[in-house]
Structure 1
Amino acid sequence: MEIQQKVVQAGKYNMFYRSAGTGSQVILLLHGIPTNSFLWVHVIPKLAQNYTVIAPDLVGYGGSDRSTNEELTLPMQANHLISLLDTLGIQTVHVVGHDLGGGIAQILATNFPDRIESFVVVDGVAFSNWPLPKVVALRYPTAPEFEPSLYFIEKMLREGLFHQESLTPELLNAFLQPFNHPNGPKELVEAALALNHHQTEDLVPKLQTTNKPATFLYGQYDRYLPAYWGLRLKETVPNSTFNLLPECSHYSMLDNPLLVSQEIMNHMTRISS
């Protein structure tokens, strides 16, 4: 199935997005740091058989406009995504978020309940479990390994995979290329400076009372955000589901895209039954 690529003006930013499918229900796929919507390239075709799928590059990442760290916080990213949905004429979506995108999914579900039908967090930030020390180190690097660079991005990706062969040259290039220019390191630092755990921790009271159907999927070997946090989310969000993804690490949609696709479809089936 062909995946279309477009850029639209959403609020004050140009946002790049990938899309496929023509289903009546819309699934919004969100990435985290330091990736972009190409993260979902092996998941989109499967979901698009039954749903309309939209996978944007967050502001500050991929093919979308860059900005200052004040505009790249998770609450601001949620606002930018609402602008994108308005531009595309989409009223409601099921949101699926990975890493930082998992935090944004929680913000959207609790702060924009009229726009979100359900949410899925895949290996996502939550509570006060982030930003990762590795990402914090980008702000004020004390050793060469923490310098904002293409090497840093590649190392982060490789350490977050269970199946190393999943990181093909095509995937690696897709994640490195957007930062492969003289201003790239500064853009990566701005993205890191935007992150603060209060952006999700302060949501907990709202999560405890939300009526939005939710599923939490965490890789069995996620060394960045262990599956414990998926269980914590399940305990916090009423009538939610938690599933462990075997032989997957942090980038579970790269380790096993078919499994992640099936789990998202299981979520959609569960909430419609």
Structure 2
Amino acid sequence: MRDAREAPMRLDAAAFQASRRLVDTPFGRIAYVERGAGPAALFLHGFPLNGFQWRGALERLSQHWRCLAPDFMGLGYTEAPQQQDLSPQAQATMLAAFLDALSIPAVDLIANDSGGTIAQLFAVQHPARVRTMLLTNCDVHENSPPPQMRNSIAAARAGTYDQKMARHLADRTYARSPGGIGGSAYVDPANFTDEAIDYYFTPLVASPLRRSQLNGYLAAFEPNPLLAIEPALRRSTVPTRMVWGTADPLFPVIWAEWLDRTLPKSRGIRRVEGGKLFWPEELPEVIAEEARTLWGVRRS
């Protein structure tokens, strides 16, 4: 039976938008939502989503932690300059500036999908700023980007990937079909709601600049940024837990196993049976449970 304290608690899009803040950094104005107080936890979203992906986890964890969900440059509601580098390395450097702007010395990281790439870069380059890391299905080592993304990256380089986002907004049946993100990345396509589609994709096609930045974000994931940090990962002292959906063709469990073997402070793997890429949005109670355990927080 579900614990009453784990009853569904999710900010809707209107409430999330009302909570959204902007902070000035050398990388532009970074959009983020903050909930709660205490030691900081930083939630890094997947592609082509934004911080709204973590709304359920924020509500469950904010009673213990200061939970922050920023939008990466080129995605969501962050306002980056036209010439801004959007590569994973630049995103990791931006996160350090974002934390500096908020006077946050260290965080617990939680990441999904391409956010996991950026989390790993951040953790090895700023080890003193990372207390723990909780990684869900994401890029790992040689599987970055996964081979299934080659056509999408080619479209991004050609400047046309934004058309797929526009199609999601115009055709919700397509958005939830196997060819769309709802059908391919969610266990239940119905969980890819109209309000989520609107909140995720409207800013991505709001202007020629935003369309160009969306394409630029995706194109910048080649060449692979993770191969070079393998030696640093093998020396990492950050306690890290992998929580991995088993039905994700992009990021199969073998890559969670690679991290488990490679990271000296691995806290093991929890398999989420049947979970696809964006299962953390569908099962925020699992994220909350694993985070509490990793952080050593007892339920009040």
TM-score, structure 1 normalization: 0.90
User: What does 1:141-180 align with in structure 2 at a 5 Å threshold?
Assistant: 141=155, 147-149=161-163, 150=165, 151=167, 154=175, 155-180=180-205
Distance 2:112 2:90 in 1: 17
Paired position in structure 1 for 2:72: 58
Q: Structure 1 residues 15, 257: CA separation in 2 closer, same or farther (over 3 Å shift)?
A: same
Supply the distance in 1 between the matched residues of 2:145 and 2:185 (Cα, whole angstroms): 15
Trace 1:202-217 onto structure 2 (pairs within 5 A): 202-217=228-243
- The AA in structure 2 aligned to 1:85 is L
Give the Cα–Cα distance (whole angstroms) in 1 for the partners of residues 196 and 251 of structure 2. 22
User: After the TM superposition, which of the residue ranges 127-136 and 189-198 deviates more from structure 2?
Assistant: 127-136
Q: Contact 1:220–1:249 at 8 Å: present in 2 too?
A: yes
8 Å contact 2:244–2:253 — kept in the other structure?
A: yes
RMSD (Å), alpha carbons: 2.2
Q: 1:186 aligns with which of 208, 212, 218?
A: 212
| Counterpart residue type for residue 209 of structure 1 | R
Question: 1:110 maps to which residue?
Answer: 124
State the Cα distance separating 1:67 from its structure 2 match. 4.8
Provide the C-alpha distance between the structure 1 equivalents of 2:229 and 2:222, rounded to a whole number of angstroms.
13
Aligned pair count reads 266
Could you tell me how far 1:197 is from its partner in structure 2?
5.1
Give 1:225's match in structure 2, choosing from 231, 239, 251: 251
Aligned to 2:152: 138
- Indicate the SS of the match to 1:91: coil
The answer to whether 1:255 aligns with 2:270 is no
Could you tell me which runs of 5 or more consecutive residues in structure 1 were left unpaired when the two chains were aligned. none
Residues 1:8 and 2:23 are matched in the alignment: yes
Q: Percent identity?
A: 22
**Equivalent residue letter for 1:223:** P
Q: CA deviation at 1:101?
A: 0.9
Q: Give SS of 1:29's match.
A: strand
The answer on 1:237 being equivalent to 2:251 is no
Describe how 1:83-122 pairs up with structure 2 within 5 A.
Answer: 83-122=97-136
Q: Counterpart of 2:6?
A: none
State the match for 1:264 in structure 2: 291
In 1, the alpha carbon distance for the partners of 2:236 and 2:154 equals 37
Q: Which amino acid aligns with 2:253?
A: A
Are the aligned partners of 2:246 and 2:271 in contact in 1 as well (CA < 8 Å)? yes
Unmatched 5+ residue regions in structure 2? Answer: 1-10, 170-174
For the residues of structure 2 that align with 1:188 and 1:199, how far apart are their CA atoms? 18
Q: Is the 8 A contact 1:10 1:84 kept in 2?
A: yes
**More divergent stretch after superposition (12-21 vs 130-139):** 130-139
- Which amino acid counterpart does residue 114 of structure 2 have in structure 1? L
SS in 2 for 1:217: strand
Change (3 A) 1:11 1:185: closer
Task: Give distance in 2, aligned partners of 1:197 and 1:69.
Answer: 19
Hey, what does 2:226 align to over in structure 1?
200
- Tell me the distance in 2 between the aligned counterparts of 1:225 and 1:152: 23
Instruction: Give the superposition deviation at 1:140.
Output: 3.3
Q: Which amino acid aligns with 2:93?
A: N
Pair 7,202 (structure 1): closer, same or farther in 2 beyond 3 Å: same
Tell me the amino acid that sits aligned with residue 32 of structure 2. Y
- Deviations 1:22-68 (CA, angstroms, capped at 9, x unpaired): 12x11000012111111111111001011100100011111102356
Query: Given the alignment, which residue of 7, 19, 36 partners 2:34?
Result: 19
- Distance in 2 (alpha carbons) for counterparts of 1:66 and 1:31: 17
